[in-house]
Chains A and B, each alone.
Chain A
């Protein structure tokens, strides 16, 4: 059993009570909501005659359903419009702050909260969205919940939960040029499997993780859930504190000094005990691409689609289903596979450093003929910062569309979607069947730089061949 890890310390601090079932009642420090998973929670709250216990600890934005071409109201899609008006009404009636369209603070919920300094070390953070694990990058315990739990948090600022085991994912070395945080996490999931993390929190640590920027750490923690781990985190350090300092919701003055002291005290120390540990070598990781229908079906860009013989027996039915759905042959090289659509964005890879890495590849090149390529900044702040340094111009000159912020084609709840059997190179997080809006559409997950490389080449390409020496 783990002890003295950040997870153990934060868990203990937030324990409210033990429930009759034996589950723990855990206090929730930050609750994020959006338009898709909250309306039924507010309705249930009303049905029960309950009110929001800590409206100041819930923050809303709109991201899943917003169009990325024109965000003028009312939206062309009446269902989308109804969802947003419902969110607006619920926030207004319950005294909850909403970072709406045009506020300068709207964005994908997992981009918005960190950049405003809402997400801080040592907090428990929840949202009705599985990619809430993103916020673990700050040394928070952060995880996705369902709508009934959204109701419970609104009502009581707490949840009934069981403690997870803690697995340390130790990464030695440093990522080679052209290999990004996305490749690291795809490599981890490929190795441990999509259910490897069930029942565990993942602590990402080691020299390669310590060297990551906050945005890169968010990419890694974001996809912990794709490896089955409901939450993943990185211990807070000077990189964390430097990122947070001066953000709108970060403490200031003497409170800042006390905050840093407290945050430092929460990190897993030398006395920390983990339930288990898995070690990786960052120097051995290549740009990674998924070929199948789960995020665990990934390979290095220089590898071939695995054959059945190379696949563990229990994974073979899924591999066969993936060959059929993706129309790929076992043994086929992934490099050179033509793509139709290139999507750069999402809560995994829609931040400024992601756009910079993709722009570096796009700069001076042209999107290949017949390819639809578009960039969706993760938030209004990301869009403004990217535009201030001319990234939008770089993308436009290369033939990419530059869009308004939102979740967009990661899950295609807005008008951005694949058509028919189209195949996309995508910087998002899920390659599930039908995920990107067409029931037969196909998704290849990769880093934003690799998506840009695929866009200019017209097929899956090793981005390392396109980077300056």
Chain B
């Protein structure tokens, strides 16, 4: 499987074909079943994404259908990624080729895990997501064009506005979505915070 390079640096626009996955409350156990978590690297997860759902649907699952191969824009419904905190879920999607997710809503931990990998999760109303899904299915050869600021998606001459929280928008467009260095740059503030927390001082007098 050949996919686009992993996200790096500033992410302002994402272009790609869509894969439509309908259904509310799709949990991370379905995205990557627990038995595939027995690994010490994420490398092999791309082929295992949605393993049980795909096996059950015998080739009819969107991730197996020929028209969706090579897609990079995942369009889902409500509360996508609920349940387990496993980052293996977005890591598996990333390795399958997903670079951006559009949906009505996302579970919080999943959303944060995606952000840390540079996968924008953008929201739209139930009606708009339904329209985007229908339009994508009707023209699965067409490229979607997603911009992060202002947040919007264009497909086959149509345009829908999307929602993206301002902090995620700033982090992604500035290329600072990988937080480690920013967090470490606050060395003095970290020391000061630890010093004012009583439990960090073992509740010593004073």
Q: Which residue numbers of A lie inside 8 Å of B, CB to CB?
A: 13-17, 19-23, 25, 27, 29, 36-37, 39-40, 43, 48, 50, 53-54, 64-65, 77, 79-80, 82-83, 86, 120, 122-123, 128-130, 132, 143-149, 151-152, 155-160, 162, 194-195, 198-199, 225-226, 228, 230, 251, 254-256, 258-259, 262, 294, 296, 314-315, 317-318, 321, 411-413, 430, 432-435, 437, 439-440
Contact = CB atoms under 8 A, between A and B. Distances in A.
B82 interface: yes
Contact of A194 (B55, B79, B86, B196): B79
A251 B199 CA distance: 9
Given A25-B186, A159-B183, A294-B25, A120 B199 contact: yes
A152 B183 contact: yes
B84 A130 contact: yes
Contact of B176 (A20, A25, A80, A434): A20
A21 B176 contact: yes
Given A155-B183, A156-B184, 4 more contacts: A48-B180, A80-B38, A148-B117, A228-B82
A40 B88 CA distance: 10
Nearest to B51: A439
A83 B38 contact: yes
Instruction: Select the residue from A40, A54, A146, A314 with max chain B CB neighbours within 10 A.
Output: A146
Contacts of A36: 37-38, 86
B34 A21 contact: no
A343 B135 CA distance: 46
Contacts of A79: 38-39
Shortest Cβ-Cβ A-B pairs, 10 listed: A146-B87, A146-B113, A148-B116, A144-B85, A255-B203, A156-B183, A439-B52, A130-B85, A195-B79, A39-B40
A207 B145 CA distance: 53
Nearest to B86: A37
Contacts of A22: 166-167, 170
Given A13-B197, A195-B78, A411-B34, A435 B116 contact: no
Per DSSP, chain B at the interface is helix
Given A155-B180, A262-B198, A437-B34, A86 B112 contact: no
A442 to B, nearest CB: 13
A262 B109 contact: no
A413 B85 contact: no
Nearest to B43: A40
Contacts of A145: 85, 109, 112
B193 interface: yes
A439 B33 contact: yes
28 contacts: A23-B171, A40-B40, A48-B180, A79-B38, A79-B39, A82-B40, A83-B38, A83-B40, A128-B85, A130-B83, A144-B85, A146-B87, A146-B113, A146-B116, A147-B88, A148-B116, A156-B183, A195-B79, A226-B83, A230-B108, A314-B78, A314-B126, A317-B24, A413-B38, A430-B84, A433-B29, A433-B53, A434-B30
B165 interface: yes
Nearest to B126: A314
B116 A432 contact: no
A3 B186 CA distance: 26
Contacts of B182: 19-20, 25, 160
B138 interface: no
Contact of A146 (B112, B180, B197, B205): B112
Nearest to A161: B112
B37 A21 contact: no
B78 to A, nearest CB: 7
A430 B179 CA distance: 31
B197 A314 contact: no
Contacts of A413: 34-35, 37-38
Contact of B190 (A53, A122, A225): A53
A298 to B, nearest CB: 14
Interface in B47-84: 51-53, 55-56, 78-79, 82-84
A27 B186 CA distance: 11
Given A432-B30, A434-B33, A27 B109 contact: no
B133 interface: no
A318 B25 CA distance: 8
